[in-house]
Amino acid sequence: MGKHSYTGRFFTAWDCSIGSFCSISWSVSIGGANHDYERLTTHAMLYNSDFGFLGDREPLYDRFGSQCVIGNDVWIGCGSIINRGVVVGDGAVIGAGSVVTKDVEPYSIVAGSPARKIRMRFSDEVVSRLLVSNWWELPDSIIKENLWLFGRTPGDDALDQLERICNLREDAYDPL
């Protein structure tokens, strides 16, 4: 889990990566195991030796599959489920109670079961500028000195200022 990301109670995750500055609410599940419903049985005996059927044999399939990736600055509402292998882009918002079965674009808002795109958080130009900025990689000291900037809406002036601080090295930094 990246820096300053946090979760609420009853959060579960399996084999996933979570970026920085993510806000993950309570009762969220990310990347849990899949049951292969196209086989004669969906029972765990096909991949879990605890039931005594596998013996020395390898599991019949990989119940975990590919890793789930949560980008930076992602907000995930309470009770949401994000399936295995899903990639959630930077800045995305996932509405409470959503079941995310497909990749989520950066800075998009999705909700529902299955989750569908509601809209983009910002215009294409703003999204592009935010993605290029990688502001979540800034040193904490720079974010702290410019905290007021992060509470603004992303108009041209705010984005210009954000780009300015993102292009400076910490040792050459002059606060606004």
With contact defined as beta carbons under 8 Å apart, do 93 and 134 qualify? no
* Burial class of 88 by CB neighbour count within 10 A (0 to 12, 13 to 18, 19+): buried
Catalytic residue among 29, 33, 34, 35: 35
CA 30 – CA 84 distance, rounded (Å): 7
97 DSSP 8-state letter: T
168: amino acid identity, one letter: L
CA 82 – CA 77 distance, rounded (Å): 11
* Alpha-carbon separation of residue 36 from 41, 110, 152 (angstroms): 8, 26, 46
104: which strand partners? 88
The residue length of the chain stands at 176
Tokens representing 85 are 């292998």
43 catalytic? Reply is no
Active site residues: 35
